[in-house]
Amino acid sequence: MSISDLEYLEQRCGYKVYVRHLRNYYGVNEPITKGEAASSGIPFSDIESHGGRTEVQIYDGENLIGEDIAVCSNKENYCRKRGRQIAIGRAIKNAWVINE
């Protein structure tokens, strides 16, 4: 799933896609967003290069039609692009199952 596919879903099909990237930080048990880290006073330098999570939700108007996550293990380097591709692909797959 590329950026152009995302644009297609949003512009041509009328869906709204929300993507949230969460990263592992030293001293924090759960992955959090950069905004959450900043508001908690956690310095950006405490971000870990491994592990994280990408969450995706797809809406048709106000109705949630698909959602899923992609988890990057603590042994893998975190990649926003790959996480987005996996999570959106899974959310689309689940969306079609929900609507059948």
Domain range for residue 57?
3-99
Q: In the predicted model, is pLDDT for residue 43 greater than 80?
A: yes
Q: What is the pTM of this model?
A: 0.83
Q: In the predicted model, is pLDDT for residue 79 greater than 60?
A: yes
Closest CA to 25 of 53, 49, 58: 49
What contacts 16, CB < 8 A, 6 or more positions away?
Answer: 10, 58, 59
Q: Which amino acid is at 28?
A: V
Percentage, residues of the chain above pLDDT 70: 89
Q: Give how many domains the chain has, as a whole number.
A: 1
Residue 3 has a pLDDT of 59
Mean pLDDT of 77-93: 90
DSSP E strands: which ranges in the chain? Answer: 15-25, 47-60, 63-77
- The band of 12, judged by pLDDT with boundaries at 50, 70 and 90, is confident
Q: In the predicted model, is pLDDT for residue 16 greater than 70?
A: yes
| 18 and 84 Cβ atoms separated by less than 8 Å | no
**How far is the C-alpha of 30 from the C-alpha of 53, rounded, in Å?**
10
